[in-house]
Amino acid sequence: MMTSERFQEITGRYAALRIAVVGDYSCDRYLEIDPAKTETSIETGLPVHNVTRVRAQPGASGTVLNNLAALGVGELWPVGFCGCDGEGYELYRALEQTPGVRMKYFFESEDQRTFTYCKPLMMHLGQPPEELNRLDSKNWHPTPVNLQHQLANAVRSLAYEVDAIIVLDQADAPETGVVTQSMLDALAEIKDNTLIIGDSRRGLKDWPSIIYKMNAAELAQLTDQTSEPEQAARKLAAQTGKPVFVSLSEHGIVGAQPDGHSENRKALTVSGEIDIVGAGDAVMANLTTAIAAQADLGEALELANAAASVVVHKLGTTGTASISKISGKLGFE
């Protein structure tokens, strides 16, 4: 188990870290609805929901970036794009106002619309927000070739400027987001120059041999094995020559090294209302910072589990976990 002194030693290095987050950035727009102000449309006869507050924050890859900022990472480099639209303005402004962020490699594109999650929330007095049907805006066409090249070249440049690169593929259809084949080729070129950890909702098949982070279903699909996750993770790590991390939801996280060493750290106990949205992003951010700050395998898992436990208790938003909150979860306060 980690000691308080070791916790301070690891987290004390975060301010000196430089981390890039490559992936699909969304504008998360929360529409807070007051049910007491419901009206009926004269024109249609349908109920009208009155929005009394609008909140916008970076989501998807932006959630990982927000978690890194909450940890006090010194330099943050978002690599992605937004459209030249209102949601893009909100997203760009929110990113550039995040402490430590450098916007050199975040591009505005007239050919793309801003990836947006619009989340209506019915606000009931004294109760957690009730999330209604989400309204999504995405790009369903291939990412323009010139933009692909800009993104891939950004990663090639950053390989020599940062301590770690996080890669997140959130696109539903291949070649429609940031992580295209052009990006994977660039990652293959630089994978030995810096620490790179990747995660994809469509699975990591055909990705270069970097550090993989996935869930149990993605692991089973990638390895085509029915063995239990820790054993499968060890085999995969031996094949790629890089660590493998597997989130097991309420059962914690498995980490495996190429030398066959593995550990399974159980999730912390939760209580009351929870919302698992954003927990995986907190895990990704904390695994990366811990490894970049020279934590060992077990320490990285312990920090990631504690961060996830903080985030799941934040309702009505995609939350983050600060060092002080993680410290409290580990009993160091």
CA atoms within 13 A on the CB side of 302: 18
Distances (CA, A) of 49 to 86, 121, 316: 22, 10, 18
Instruction: Give 157-214 pLDDT, tens digit per residue.
Output: 999 999 999 999 999 999 999 999 999 999 999 999 999 999 999 999 999 999 999 9
Average pLDDT over residues 41-60: 95
Whether residue 108 has pLDDT greater than 50: yes
Please give the pLDDT value at position 310: 87
Is 0.85 surpassed by the pTM of this model? Answer: yes
> In percent, how much of the chain has pLDDT > 70?
94
Instruction: Give 211-223 pLDDT, tens digit per residue.
Output: 999 999 999 989 8
Name the pLDDT band for 120 (thresholds 50, 70, 90). Answer: very high
Q: Domain 4-27+59-114+140-208+267-319's class?
A: alpha beta
Please give the pLDDT value at position 271: 53
Please give the pLDDT value at position 246: 95
Q: Where are the domains of the chain?
A: 4-27+59-114+140-208+267-319
Amino acid in the structure at residue 122: M
Average pLDDT over residues 4-14: 96
Whether residue 307 has pLDDT greater than 80: yes
Which range has highest mean pLDDT (114-123, 218-227, 249-258, 307-316)?
114-123
Please give the pLDDT value at position 250: 77
What whole-number distance in Å separates Cα of residue 186 and Cα of residue 151? 9
Buried b (16+ CB within 10 A) or exposed e, 9-42: ebbebbeebbbbbbbbbbbbbbbbbeeeeeeeee
Please give the pLDDT value at position 1: 80
Average pLDDT over residues 24-33: 96
Lowest mean pLDDT among 107-111, 152-156, 314-318: 314-318
Average pLDDT score, the chain: 92
Please give the pLDDT value at position 318: 57
